[in-house]
Amino acid sequence: MTGRTVPVREEIRALEAYRLVPEDAPPLRAKLDFNESPFDVPEEIRAEVLSRLAAKRWGRYPEFGAPCVKRAIADAIGRRPEEIVVGNGSGEVILAAVSVFAGGGELVLATPTFSLYGQIAAIAAARVTDVPRTGSDFALAEDAFLAASGQPGAVPLVCSPNNPTGGVVEREFLERLLDDACVVLLDQAYVDFAEAGDDALPLVGPRGNLVVFRTLSKAYAAAGFRIGYAVAEPELVLEIEKAILPFSVDLAAEELAIAVLSHPEISREHVRRIVAERERVAAALRTAGATVAPSRSNFLFVRPPGADAARVRRGLLDRGILVRDMTAAAPGRLRVSIGSRAENDLFLEAFLEVI
C-alpha cells in the first residue's frame, strides 16, 4: 500500500453498515422478520411477465424515464404521470428526495423509525434531528416534532404507518406539519394495510410541499423486484428525478409493476387477509400477556411478558421461527411480520412455549 490516507467522509466512517449475519439455527418454519408478504405473485401474472420479457431485446436499456411504469402507477392511484417518480425500490427515491431537499441540512426523524433513514441521511450529508416517540404506543411527540421541523433548513421525514411501531399520524397533525415545514417527506410503504383516511395522496396538489413515497414490495408482493415511487407536484418531481440515475428500474421490474398494477383485486384480497390475521394474532398475544402496540401495517410491535426480547427471539429461532429483535431501537420489543395463517399459528405456539 502507498501509506496514503483514503479520504472517507466522517459521517460515512461513523456509520454502522447494514448487515445480515447468518445464525446457527434449525431450518426455518416461519420467516416473520422482514415485513414481506406471505403471498407471492400468482402464476398467471408470472407467466404474463415472462412472456413479455421473452419478447424484449435484453441487450437494450429500458425506455428512458420509465414512462409506461409511471402511467401504470398513475392510473392505479388516480394521479397524473408527471406527478410520479419511480425508482429501484422506494429507498432509492427517498434517498434522492433527502439528497435534494435536506442534503447538507437537517433531517428531522421521530424515533424509533425505519433504521435505514439514518443511513440515507449520512449518504446525503444530512444531519439528523431526533425527536423520540413517547408513551407505551410510541406516539409521535407532535409539538416537539413541529418545533424541530419549523427550524430553518429542517426537513421532516415521517413514516406512517411507522416501521417498526405500526402507528400512523393523524390528518390534522399532517396539515399542521405542512403549514410549518418548507417540504414534508412522508413514507407510506405500509399504507395499504391502514384505514382509507390514512392515505395522504389526496393532499398532494392542494399542498404543494408534500412528497409521498410508496412501494410495490408489501401489498403487491413484489419485494424481489424493487419497485418504489414518489408522488408529488410536477415541480418537485423534476428536482427529485435529477438525483436518480438513469435506467434504475430494469426491464423485469417494469413488466412486473405493470402486470400487478393491472390486477388490483389480487392485492386487495391479500391485504384483507393480512389485516384479518394481524388482528387475530394481536388478540392472541395480548391474551398471552404481551403488550402489542396498535398497528395499521403488516406487522406487530410486541413487548413479550418480562420484556426480554432477545431471549424470546432466540427461543423462537430455536423452534424455526424468525422475528426481529428491536432492542437496539426500543428495549424489550420484537417486531413480528404477519405471515400466512399457518405461519402465524406456528409463531403463536412457539411464543407460548418460550414465554
Residue 20 has pLDDT above 80, yes or no: no
Q: pLDDT by residue (tens digit) across 252-275? A: 999 999 999 999 999 999 999 999
Instruction: Report the C-alpha gap between 352 and 285 in whole angstroms.
Output: 9
Residue 26 has pLDDT above 90, yes or no: no
What's the pLDDT at 2?
62
Q: Identify the band that residue 18 occupies on the pLDDT scale cut at 50, 70 and 90.
A: confident
Integer-rounded Cα Rg, in Å, for the chain is 21
Instruction: Report the C-alpha gap between 121 and 273 in whole angstroms.
Output: 35
Contact 264, 76 (CB under 8 A): yes
pLDDT average, residue stretch 78-102:
98
What's the pLDDT at 73?
98
Q: pLDDT by residue (tens digit) across 192-219? A: 999 999 999 999 999 999 999 999 999 9
DSSP bridge pairs for 299: 337
pLDDT average, residue stretch 181-199:
97
Instruction: Return contacts of 134-143, CB within 8 angstroms, 24+ apart.
Output: 136/291, 136/293, 137/165, 137/167, 137/293, 137/294, 138/112, 138/162, 138/165, 138/167, 138/293, 138/301, 138/330, 139/167, 140/110, 140/167, 140/169, 140/173, 141/110, 142/173, 142/176
Which pTM does this prediction carry?
A: 0.95
What lies within 8 Å, CB to CB, of 269 at 6+ separation is none
pLDDT average, residue stretch 304-330:
95
Residue closest to 222 by CA, chosen among 257, 262, 269, 194: 257
Lowest mean pLDDT among 164-168, 177-181, 327-331: 327-331
Residue 25 has pLDDT above 80, yes or no: no
What's the pLDDT at 68?
96
Residue 1 has pLDDT above 60, yes or no: no
Q: Which helix (H) or strand (E) holds 106?
A: strand 106-109
Instruction: Return contacts of 262-267, CB within 8 angstroms, 24+ apart.
Output: 262/72, 263/42, 263/45, 264/76, 266/42, 266/45, 267/192, 267/219, 267/220, 267/221
Instruction: Report the C-alpha gap between 261 and 253 in whole angstroms.
Output: 12
The whole-chain average pLDDT of the chain stands at 95
Helix (H, G, I), strand (E, B) or coil at 20: coil
Residue 13, CA atoms < 13 Å, CB-side half-sphere: 6
What the chain holds in terms of domains, given with CATH numbers, is 10-41+265-354 (3.90.1150.10), 56-262 (3.40.640.10)
Which runs of E-coded beta strand occur in 295-339? 299-303, 321-322, 324-325, 334-337
Sort 54 into a burial class: Cβ within 10 Å, 0-12 / 13-18 / 19+. Answer: exposed
Contact 347, 281 (CB under 8 A): yes
What lies within 8 Å, CB to CB, of 16 at 6+ separation is none
Contact 337, 221 (CB under 8 A): no
Q: Identify the band that residue 16 occupies on the pLDDT scale cut at 50, 70 and 90.
A: confident
What's the pLDDT at 284?
98
**Pairing relation of β-strands 291-292 and 324-325?**
unpaired
